[in-house]
Every structure is written in structure tokens, then in C-alpha cells.
């Protein structure tokens, strides 16, 4: 049973392929810090010299004391002080450069991870959980210490120090040296086994930490929903249970490490006692001097601890592997672009935007579009209407290159969309989404991200156009006022107007409005609509709207239902025809009347 379990662990966690892929990942980051690693190697050689030198010093000064050599003792003291000074400088330098070697690699790996996540296609990115991603940065990458820096150098240091000490001790007394080696290999074998168990446990710990962070993230993001549905106790209990599970795993981890280190200490003590007993016998027979035995006893542990140290490194390495495996799952996802997109001058559409024989699905079960064809004329306003789930917002995602169609193509003036540089394409589009996302920071921060080098004058003009300037002026710090995480301090209408102002500032030739005025009251909507009408002049504009009263002046209206265009025309043409548009308009008209009546009642 035990043999079978060990065999399973070996197959699961002792894969050279895994180790090679992990080192292939971190190798560029290690090589980038080659100077720090070269210095650590030099300090490694110095450390080996100091180990032998100190042991030799203890033996020589003991023999001098035994034979009453005062002058020799005094000269050896100078040598000892010099060794001590060198040791202090060496230890300080080792800690300093080890910190550089470890933390610089972590910083570079974090940068690389974020750089990669920002380039992952939207369909892949949508499957990544925020809490898991946060755990990669805050927990997993910090768990790779055992495969970089001094831990990596130890893979070289420990075998070398073992060989050097063995040769040195064999010169003192070969028989005593061989006797001391009898117990040592047990340490190496136990280290391999405990290392495998620690990796298995470490993998479970890292996975659970990711789940806990994800749970916390959802709890904080959805705090209002939790309160509304009185879910506080349930969420607290779920968090408490996960924490208890983590505690049990950490306890199991500590038991494994405790057994391993206790075993290593027993082996070291047994080796010391055997060496002391046999060595004392040799001293009594004048085979060894007291000083030689003292030197031997100071160094004998270096025949054990390189083996236990390598085993310990192996155990630590396994914990680090469990951490880096989770990061590699993200890094192994194919990136959508080579370089991070950045703002460039937008490219105007001179003729048309065309969706040609396009087929697209989010999953294999059902197509959102199948052999879909539409043409949107340049410089005109095109409205897209239809029931929920018809595919309206999906068109916006496809046009911005967030998703790629399975068949067909999107053409801008006859050129396929995938031939455009991502930066150029997205810089050419200003999008006002249905659900406005604002960043933590000030009002100004959220406006000036629209494009580089926005002046205060341009910012204020855009805010005035979006009917937002007077509200901003009423805030305690004006445009510098902090709006909280996701703009929590603003109302839905204020957020939407800020998003419109941001789109105005981007000044892109293509404008996408997804229910851009849905959170505004009737009076503000009328004022903002005037601003949007000015903004839309000369731009290729596509509007998604449920409130059909807002799109009556559109140059063309496309009625979308279940991924197909079922009607097309102007408002007057469609309202006078029997079909889905007239039904939607009548429903929208009744809904607007209800809202107006409700507002009238609330004001009295």
C-alpha cells in the first residue's frame, strides 16, 4: 500500500518534463540578473573556503593550547579575526545580492504575467476569475523562492562543499570519514519522499488560497447584493469553512516539515555521536590529535547537511513548483497580440463597415450569428434594435476585435479587420457601454485616460457637453474629487455622463453607443442627446437602443432578432410597416409613458 502510494506520487510529482518547463519559464528572468548570480557564485566559493578555514583554525588553536604554544596562539588569533571580518562582509553581501536575485526575478515575473494577461483574447480572459488572478500575484509568485536566488545557488554549493569536506576529512582520517558516511544517505532518501508529499499538499494549499481570494473579491464587489438578499451569514460561513480547511492543510504541511527536520536533526546528531565516539577512541590511541578531532567534529556535519540540505531544497522546490504551476496555466494561454496596444491617431472610415457572411458563437452549442450580412455607411448614424439576446452587443465586441468570428469577416473600407493593428483599430473607436466602468481615482483621472495629452480646457468642454461640468464643480475638490472604487460615489446617470464625456475626449472617427442614455432622466437625456448629435456629425455612429424614441433621426435602423436582420429602413418606413419594429416601438412608448407618469406622481 505504501509502495503503491509512493509510486503514484513519483509519477504525479516527479516529472522531468514539468521541471524543464518550469526552468524554461524562469530562465530568462534569472539570466537578466546574471550579475547578482555571478556575485553569489563568487561568495559561494568564499563561503566554502571560510568553512574549511574556520574548522582548521579551531583545530590548530586547540593543538597549540594543548602544547602551550603562546606565540602560535597569538598569531592564530590574528588569523581568526581576519576570518571573522571576511565572514561578516561575506554574509552581508550574500544577503544583499540574494535579495536582488530573488526579488528582481519576482518583479519581472509579475510584470510578465500582467503583460500576458492583458494580451489574452477576450473569450479566454472571460473564463479567468479575478480572485484567482490576484492570488497569482500576491501568493503564487511569492512562493517561488525555493527555485531562485540562494536556493538555486545551493544546488551547486551543497554538492561542492560535500566533495571538498570529504576530501579534507579523508586526509585527516579516511576510516573515520567513511564511518561517518554510513547514516548520511538516509537523509537524502527521506528528503525525496517528504518533498513529494509537500508538493502535493502545497498544490492544494495554493489552490485553496486562490479560491478564498476569489470568494473575498466577490464578497466585496457584491456587498450590496449580499445585503439585499440577507446573504451575510451564508457568505461568512462559507469563508469561515474555507479558512478552516486552509488551516488543516497548513497544519498537515507543518507536520510534514516537522517530521522531516526532526529526522534530519536525528541523523546529524547520530553522525556527530558516532564520529565523536570513534574519534575519541583514535585520540586515546594517539592516531588523532585533539585538534584534528576538533576540526573533524566541526566539519563532519558538512557530510550530512549537504544531503539533508539538498533534500530540503528538493522539498522547497516542490512547494515552489506547486505555486508556479498555477501561474503557468495562465501563461500557457495563447496571447492575442504580440505587443500591448496603446493609443494611436484613429483611422477614419471613408466608405463603409461591412459584416460579410459572418458566423460567430460563444460556445459550440449555438451560433449567435450564422451567414450574417450588413453594411453600415460611413459618416452616417445606424441604429440597431431588437429584443434582449438578439446579438446587438456582440456586434460591438466583434467590431472592436474582442472576439474573432468562426467564419466570414468584417471589412472596413474593403480591408479585413484582422489586417488592422490592434492599437489603430481600437483607437479609431469610442465606445460608451451599457454598464459604465470607472476606475478608482479622481474624476479627472477617469476623463484623461481617453487619450494622451488632454488639456484641462478640452476636459472641461467635454464635461460641459455631457452636462456634467456643473455637477463636478459642486464636488468638494472639483475634478480632483475621488469617486471611489468603480465610481461607487456616483449615481448611475452621473457615471453614464462621465462615460459620454470620455468618449467625446477620445475624438474617434467611429462611435459606438450601447444604451448610452438609459440611466438618464428625460430632461438630462434631452440635453445629452443634443450633445451626442453634435458629436455624431461626420462620424460613423452605431447605436444600440431599447428606448426607440432616441433613434428616430437615425439614417438607417436595423432590426435584429435571433442573429438575423428581419427589418431595415428609417423610422418612418418601419413604423408604417407591420413587423417587429412597430411592436418594439409600441412597447417602448407604453414603458416611457409609465415612467413619465411615475415621475409626475413622485414630484407631487
Do 245 and 302 reside in the same domain of the chain?
yes
Same domain, 233 and 280: yes
Co-location of 388 and 451 in the same domain: no
Domain boundary among 507, 533, 550: 507
Q: Between these two residues, 316 and 590, which has the higher pLDDT value?
A: 316
Q: Could you list the beta-strand ranges (E) of 386-477.
A: 407-412, 415-416, 429-432
Q: State whether 501 and 514 are in the same domain.
A: no
- Please write down the long-range contacts of 554-558, taking CB distance under 8 Å and 24 or more positions apart: 554/381, 554/382, 554/383, 555/377, 555/380, 555/381, 555/382, 556/377, 556/380, 556/381, 556/382, 556/383, 557/382, 557/383, 557/384, 557/385, 557/581, 558/374, 558/382, 558/383, 558/384, 558/385
Same domain? For 531 and 559 the reply is yes
Is position 1 within any domain?
no
| Same-domain status, 32 and 93 | yes
Higher-pLDDT residue of 394 and 179 is 394
Q: What is the pLDDT of residue 604?
A: 47
Residue-wise pLDDT for 337-381, tens only, equals 777 878 887 788 888 889 989 888 887 777 888 888 988 898 888
Partners of 377 in the β-ladder: 352
What does pLDDT average to over the chain? 78
Strand partners, 430: 511
The separation between the first and the last C-alpha atoms of the chain, rounded to the nearest angstrom, is: 81
State mean pLDDT over 543-564. 83
In contact, 545 and 512? CB cutoff 8 Å: no
Contacts of 50 (CB under 8 A, 6+ apart): 83, 86, 87, 90
Q: How far is CA 287 from the centre of its chain?
A: 63
Residue 340 lies in a domain: no
Q: Are 417 and 473 within one domain?
A: no
The pLDDT-based confidence of 595 (bands split at 50, 70, 90) is low
Predicted confidence at residue 198, as pLDDT, reads 66
What does the pLDDT read at residue 248? 85
User: Could you read off the pLDDT of 393-429 as tens digits, one per residue?
Assistant: 888 888 888 888 889 898 888 888 888 888 888 888 8
In the predicted structure, residue 190 carries a pLDDT above the cut 80: no
How many domains does the structure of the chain reveal?
Answer: 3
- The answer to whether position 553 is within a domain reads yes
Convert the pLDDT of each residue in 242-280 to its tens digit: 888 888 888 887 777 777 777 667 777 777 777 777 777
Candidate ranges 58-62, 128-132, 140-144, 493-497; pick with highest mean pLDDT: 493-497
The strand pair at 415-416 and 407-412 is best described as antiparallel
Q: Is 544 helix (H, G, I), strand (E, B) or coil?
A: strand
Cα separation values, 369 from 300, 407, 567, Å: 75, 10, 16
What does the pLDDT average to over 8-13? 50
Decide: helix, strand or coil at residue 411: strand
Contact call for residues 161 and 306 (beta carbons, < 8 A): yes
Sign, CA torsion 215/216/220/226? positive
Question: Could you give the CA distance from residue 497 to residue 471 in angstroms, rounded to a whole number?
Answer: 11
Q: How does DSSP assign 7-46, residue by residue? A: HHHHHHH--HHHHHHHHHHHHHHHHHTHHHHHHHHHHHHH
CATH number of the domain enclosing 596: 3.40.50.300
The yes-or-no verdict on residue 44 having pLDDT over 80 is: yes
Minimal CA–CA distance to 153: which of 102, 216, 208? 102
pLDDT of residue 68: 61
Residues 376 and 265 in one domain: no
Find the range with the poorest average confidence among 13-22, 199-208, 314-323, 367-376.
13-22
* Residue with the larger pLDDT of the pair 152 and 477: 477
**For a pLDDT cut of 70, what percent of the chain falls above it?**
83
Residue 83 lies in a domain: yes
* Domain carrying residue 414: 347-428+510-604
More confidently predicted of 167 and 512: 512
Q: Which pLDDT score, from 0 to 100, does residue 129 have?
A: 77
Identify the pLDDT of residue 175. Answer: 76
Last residue of a domain, one of 331, 361, 395: 331
Q: Is 584 found in the same domain as 524? A: yes
At 578, the pLDDT band (50, 70, 90 cuts) reads confident
Task: Examine the pLDDT at 1 and tell me if it is beyond 60.
Answer: no
Rounded distance, CA 387 to CA 289, Å? 97
Tell me the three cell numbers of residue 171. 586526509
pTM of the model as a whole: 0.74
Residues 531 and 442 in one domain: no
Do 307 and 239 belong to one domain?
yes
Q: Are residues 398 and 461 in the same domain?
A: no
The C-alpha atoms of residue 489 and residue 443 are separated, in whole angstroms, by 11
Is a pLDDT exceeding 50 seen at residue 597? no
Burial 185-204 (b: 16+ CB within 10 A, else e): ebbbebbbbbbbbbbbbbbb
| Contact by Cβ (8 Å): 434, 518 | yes
Residue 535 has pLDDT above 50, yes or no: yes
pLDDT tens for residues 223-242?
766 776 677 778 888 888 88
**Entry field: residues in the chain:** 604
- Whether residue 93 has pLDDT greater than 70: yes
pLDDT interval class at 8 (50, 70, 90): low
**Residues β-bridged to residue 568:** 558
Amino acid at each position: 500500500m505504501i509502495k503503491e502510494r509512493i509510486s503514484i506520487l513519483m509519477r504525479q510529482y516527479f516529472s522531468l518534463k514539468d521541471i524543464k518547463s518550469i526552468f524554461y519559464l524562469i530562465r530568462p528572468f534569472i539570466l537578466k540578473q546574471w550579475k547578482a548570480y555571478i556575485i553569489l557564485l563568487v561568495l559561494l566559493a568564499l563561503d566554502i573556503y571560510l568553512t574549511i578555514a574556520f574548522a582548521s583554525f579551531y583545530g590548530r588553536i586547540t593543538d597549540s593550547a594543548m602544547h602551550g604554544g603562546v606565540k602560535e596562539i597569538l598569531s592564530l588569533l590574528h588569523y581568526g579575526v581576519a576570518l571573522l571580518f571576511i565572514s561578516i562582509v561575506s554574509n552581508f553581501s550574500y544577503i544583499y545580492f540574494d535579495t536582488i536575485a530573488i526579488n528582481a526575478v519576482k518583479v519581472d515575473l509579475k510584470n510578465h504575467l500582467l503583460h500576458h494577461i492583458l494580451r489574452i483574447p477576450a473569450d479566454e480572459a472571460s473564463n479567468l476569475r479575478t480572485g484567482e488572478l490576484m492570488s497569482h500575484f500576491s501568493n503564487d509568485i511569492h512562493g517561488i523562492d525555493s527555485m531562485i536566488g540562494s536556493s538555486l545557488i545551493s544546488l551547486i554549493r551543497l554538492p561542492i562543499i560535500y566533495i571538498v569536506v570529504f576530501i579534507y576529512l579523508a586526509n585527516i582520517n579516511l576510516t573515520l570519514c567513511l564511518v561517518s558516511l554510513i547514516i548520511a544517505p538516509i537523509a537524502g532518501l527521506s528528503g525525496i519522499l517528504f518533498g513529494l508529499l509537500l508538493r502535493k499538499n502545497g498544490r492544494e494549499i495554493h489552490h485553496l488560497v486562490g479560491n478564498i481570494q476569489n470568494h473575498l473579491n466577490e464578497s466585496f464587489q457584491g456587498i450590496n447584493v449580499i445585503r439585499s438578499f440577507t446573504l451575510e451569514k451564508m457568505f461568512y460561513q462559507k469563508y469561515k469553512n474555507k479558512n478552516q480547511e486552509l488551516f488543516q492543510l497548513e497544519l498537515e504541511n507543518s507536520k510534514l516539515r516537522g517530521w522531516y527536520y526532526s529526522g534530519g536533526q536525528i541523523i546529524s546528531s547520530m553522525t556527530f555521536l558516532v564520529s565523536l565516539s570513534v574519534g575519541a577512541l583514535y585520540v586515546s590511541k594517539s592516531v588523532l590529535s585533539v585538534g584534528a578531532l576538533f576540526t573533524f567534529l566541526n566539519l563532519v556535519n558538512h557530510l550530512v547537511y549537504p544531503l539533508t540540505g539538498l533534500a530540503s531544497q528538493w522539498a522547497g522546490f516542490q512547494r515552489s513548483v506547486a505555486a508556479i504551476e498555477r501561474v503557468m496555466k495562465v501563461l500557457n494561454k495563447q496571447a492575442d497580440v504580440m505587443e500591448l496596444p496603446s493609443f494611436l491617431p484613429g483611422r477614419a472610415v471613408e466608405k463603409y463597415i461591412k459584416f460579410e457572411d459572418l458566423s460567430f458563437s460563444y460556445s459550440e452549442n449555438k451560433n449567435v450569428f450564422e451567414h450574417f450580412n450588413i453594411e453600415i455607411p460611413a459618416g452616417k448614424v445606424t441604429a440597431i434594435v431588437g429584443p434582449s439576446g438578439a446579438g446587438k452587443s456582440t456586434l460591438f465586441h466583434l467590431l472592436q476585435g474582442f472576439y474573432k468570428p468562426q467564419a466570414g469577416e468584417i471589412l472596413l473600407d474593403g480591408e479585413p479587420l484582422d489586417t488592422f493593428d490592434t492599437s489603430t483599430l481600437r483607437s479609431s473607436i469610442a465606445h460608451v457601454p451599457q454598464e459604465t466602468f470607472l476606475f478608482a481615482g479622481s474624476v479627472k483621472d477617469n476623463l484623461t485616460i481617453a487619450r494622451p495629452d488632454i488639456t484641462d480646457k478640452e476636459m472641461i468642454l467635454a464635461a460641459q457637453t455631457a452636462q456634467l461640468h456643473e455637477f463636478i464643480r459642486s464636488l468638494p475638490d472639483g475634478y480632483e474629487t475621488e469617486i471611489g472604487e468603480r465610481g461607487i460615489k456616483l449615481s448611475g446617470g452621473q457615471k453614464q455622463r462621465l462615460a459620454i464625456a470620455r468618449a467625446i475626449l477620445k475624438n474617434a472617427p467611429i462611435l459606438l453607443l450601447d444604451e448610452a442614455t438609459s440611466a438618464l432622466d428625460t430632461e438630462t437625456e434631452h440635453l445629452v442627446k443634443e450633445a451626442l448629435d453634435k458629436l455624431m456629425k461626420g462620424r460613423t455612429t452605431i447605436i444600440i437602443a431599447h428606448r426607440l424614441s432616441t433613434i428616430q433621426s437615425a439614417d438607417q435602423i436595423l432590426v435584429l432578432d435571433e442573429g438575423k436582420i428581419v427589418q431595415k429602413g428609417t423610422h418612418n418606413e418601419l413604423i408604417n410597416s407591420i413587423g417587429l419594429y412597430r411592436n418594439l416601438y409600441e412597447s417602448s412608448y407604453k414603458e416611457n409613458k409609465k415612467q413619465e407618469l411615475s415621475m409626475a406622481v413622485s414630484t407631487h
